[in-house]
Amino acid sequence: MATGPCVFCAIVAQKEPANIRYEDDEVVVFDNMLDWSPVMLLFIPRKHMTQDELWNNPSLLGRIGKLATKMGHEHCPEGFRILSNFGFNAMQTQPHAHIHVVGGRHLGHYVKL
């Protein structure tokens, strides 16, 4: 996982560029810089917290979940995935809590690694 300054905190503070799709007092949604799917949205709390802290905050997680499904249907009407990575083996690269909405094409079958 990345160490040092938090790039997501810098996006929230408008010190790093991002294509913001939605923001309110608690949540910011922006395009992921990765390009392995046509739609890759990141949903983050404004406040820096870990994945565990987000997933153990029912109110905030519920708000993000509701927003993720709404925007998923808007941007990926044929279907999408909602993902959340926890730790190195799950390929979590940012320490700031976040949830992905991925879609815009057929995502294929899960592969056995």
**Residue found by looking up tokens 């999408």 in the block:** 80
Count of beta carbons in the 10 Å neighbourhood of residue 103: 22
Length of the chain: 113
Q: Of 73, 75, 96, 98, which residue is the catalytic one? A: 98
State the DSSP code for 88. G
Count of beta carbons in the 10 Å neighbourhood of residue 37: 17
Question: 6, 2, 10, 81: which is closest to 40 by C-alpha?
Answer: 81
Question: What are the tokens at 14?
Answer: 């408008």
97 vs 86: CA distance, rounded Å? 9
In the residue annotation, 73 being an active-site residue is answered as no
Q: Which positions are catalytic?
A: 98
